[in-house]
Amino acid sequence: MPKLTRAVPAEIFPATAERLASWEADEDVIGVLLVGSKSVGHQDERSDDDLEVLLSDEAFQRLAPADCHVMHVEGEGSMRQIVYDAQLTSMSALERKPGSSLDLDHWPYERARVLFARDPERVNAAVRAAALMTPEFRSARIAHGTIDAWVSAHRAGKTMERGYQAASTLLVARSAKALIRVLFALESRWAPLDHWLEREIETLDDPLRIGPRIVIALKERRVAPLLEALTALENRLATEGVARAAERRGMFLELIHASRADERARHTLP
């Protein structure tokens, strides 16, 4: 059997470390991961320990859906504090995630920490694979994301002119989310969970200040910062094979062609 490994960061709560020891003693547990704010250095006084507990397939199949979540809370009222929030899943489920196009199936593993592994080689390999964005996926994401951001921004402008505030707000958000996917994919990274957007944007190498323009567009529900961001990115995107604005209609028609429906389903926002 591979040598068991265990690494407990000092910043996790004592109750979490105690529960980790009980999982370590359970032969059905293959590994435990620290994900969430503490794994990426975004923790504050509101942060708990976000965990994934990787079970054998047999053990996971014995659990009802309601039993796949374990939370430990201390205190009451204003003193109530979530100590740890653990999702019980299977090792096989983690190993299937490289085939997913959902950011949620990848972003948590970019900086996840393996707290315990009964089979270190297998667990670490699965975490690395889940975090990886392949060059082929990256290229398609940048192309589709640019088109989605560009089309949605222009549609938002027309919708605002018609006086449809709710619809234009949705389109601004769609354009922003597509541009976020592009911005992170340029660094071969997955888009973060929405509630960590500002903090994760700060971690980018962003000399053109695209991230702050996206944040302004969302806060002020304005199209102009998004169009400015697309213009600022044009040279960078051209090096990735993305058509410049003057030629982008042809690229749009190519990407929405019926022959590319499967690719579009993976890379275009719903």
Q: What is the pLDDT of residues 186-206, one digit of tens each?
A: 999 999 999 999 999 999 999
214-242 residue pLDDT tens: 999 999 999 999 999 999 999 999 999 99
Quote the longest CA-to-CA distance of the chain. 67
The reported pLDDT for the residue numbered 47 is: 77
Look at residue 255 and tell me whether its pLDDT is greater than 50: yes
Look at residue 45 and tell me whether its pLDDT is greater than 80: no
Please, where are the H alpha helices in the chain? 14-24, 37-40, 57-61, 91-96, 120-131, 135-161, 165-185, 197-201, 210-220, 224-238, 248-255, 261-267
Q: Which two tokens stand for residue 150?
A: 């560009």
Cβ atoms within 10 A of the Cβ of 182, count? 26
How far is residue 63's CA from residue 93's CA, in Å, rounded to a whole number?
Answer: 14
- pTM of the shown model: 0.91
How far is residue 220's CA from residue 210's CA, in Å, rounded to a whole number?
Answer: 16
6 pLDDT tier (thresholds 50, 70, 90): low
153 within 8 A of 230, measured Cβ to Cβ: yes
The reported pLDDT for the residue numbered 76 is: 84
Q: What does pLDDT average to over the chain?
A: 93
Look at residue 4 and tell me whether its pLDDT is greater than 60: no
Residue partners of 1: CB distance under 8 A and separation at least 6: 118, 119
Cβ atoms within 10 A of the Cβ of 41, count? 10
The reported pLDDT for the residue numbered 1 is: 43
